[in-house]
Amino acid sequence: MAFINIKTKEVQVKIVYYGPGRGGKTANLEYIYNKYRNNITTEMVSLKTHDDRTLFFDFLPFDVGKIRGYDVSIQLYTVPGQVKYNATRKLVLKGVDGIVFVADATVERRKSNIDSLKQLQENLESYNLNINTIPLVMQYNKYDLKDAGVPLLSPQVMQQDLNSQLRVPAFAASALVGGNVIATLKKIISLTLSSIQDQLF
C-alpha cells in the first residue's frame, strides 16, 4: 500500500502500467512527461535495451498537491512487456497501489493481451494482492492505427476478452498521439487515491 511519511507529511503512491510488449506503456509515460514537462521537476528515468525495449522499468514521479495536509506524490512505473522478463515485471509490482493495464488492440496481439492479464493476476497473488480489488483501469491502445488500415479489435471485443469479469473503467486510446492518455491517468489516480483514503481515514 501507499507509503506515508508522517513527519514530512508526504504520501507516495505507486502506479504501474502493465501489459504485453510493444503495447504502448512507455509511450503513455512519454506523452504524460512531454505534456506536463513544465510541472514535473524531475527527469523521466528509462532503462532500455539497445532496440528501445524497456529492460527494467520507466519511472516518472510528479506531485499532485495536498490531501488533508499531506503532499501527494504519484510515481508512475512501467514494466517490461516481453514475455521473458517476468522476473523483473514482478519486482516492479512490489508495493503497487494502482494498475493501468495497457492492452494492444491489433488483431494479432489478442492472445498476448489475455496471457499478460493472466500473468498480472498471478504476479499480484504472489504479493497477496487481488486483481479484483486493487484499483485497475484498462486501456485499449493503438486506435490511431485504424487510419493506416491495420486490422484492429473493436473496443467491444477487447472488453469481452479482458474486462467481462473485472468490469473496471476502460478507455480506447492512442498513446502515441495522446488520445485518452490523460483520461486514463486521471481515472487511475482518482481510483487509487480514494482507495488509499478508505484505508487510511
Partner 1 sequence: MKYPILTEKQLDAIDDILNQKLIKAGVRNVMLIDMAGNTISKQDNGKFKLDTIAFAALAAGNFAAVEAMAKLVGESEFSLLFHKGETASVHFSKINKDFLLITMFQKDLSLGIIRLKVTDTIDALTKVIYT
Cβ proximity to partner 1, 32 vs 168, nearer residue: 32
The answer to whether 199 contacts partner 1 (rule: CB under 8 A) is no
Q: Quick one: how far is CA 127 from the chain centroid? A: 18
Q: Which long-range contacts (CB under 8 A, 24 or more apart) does 34-43 make?
A: 35/178, 35/182, 36/62
Closest CA to 172 of 189, 151, 156: 156
94 binds partner 1 per the rule CB under 8 A: yes
Rounded CA separation 82/166 (Å) = 24
Among 33, 75, 121, 176, indicate the residue that binds partner 1 (CB under 8 A): 75
Q: Which is nearer to partner 1, 154 or 199 (CB)?
A: 199
Segment interacting with partner 1 (CB under 8 A) among 1-9, 117-125, 165-173, 193-201: 1-9
Please pick, from the candidates 64, 73, 169, 178, the single residue that binds partner 1 as defined by CB under 8 A.
73
Amino acid at the residue 67: I
The distance of closest approach from Cβ of residue 165 to partner 1 in the complex, given in angstroms and rounded to an integer, is: 28
C-alpha distances (whole Å) from 170 to each of 20, 45, 57, 126 are 17, 27, 23, 25
Q: Would you call 113 helix, strand, or coil by DSSP?
A: helix
Residues 114-133 binding partner 1 (CB under 8 A) are none
| Site for partner 1 contains 140 (CB under 8 A) | no
Beta strand spans in 24-165 (E): 45-48, 54-67, 70-78, 98-104, 136-141
| Nearest approach, Cβ of residue 137 and partner 1 (Å) | 21
Tell me how far apart the alpha carbons of residues 54 and 46 are, in angstroms, rounded to a whole number. 7
| Residue 86 touches partner 1, criterion: CB under 8 A | no
Interface with partner 1, residue 88, by CB under 8 A: yes
Q: Does 83 bind partner 1 (CB under 8 A)?
A: no
- Residues engaged in binding partner 1 (CB under 8 A): 1, 3, 5-7, 12, 14, 42-43, 45, 47, 56-57, 59, 61, 73, 75, 77, 87-88, 91-92, 94-95
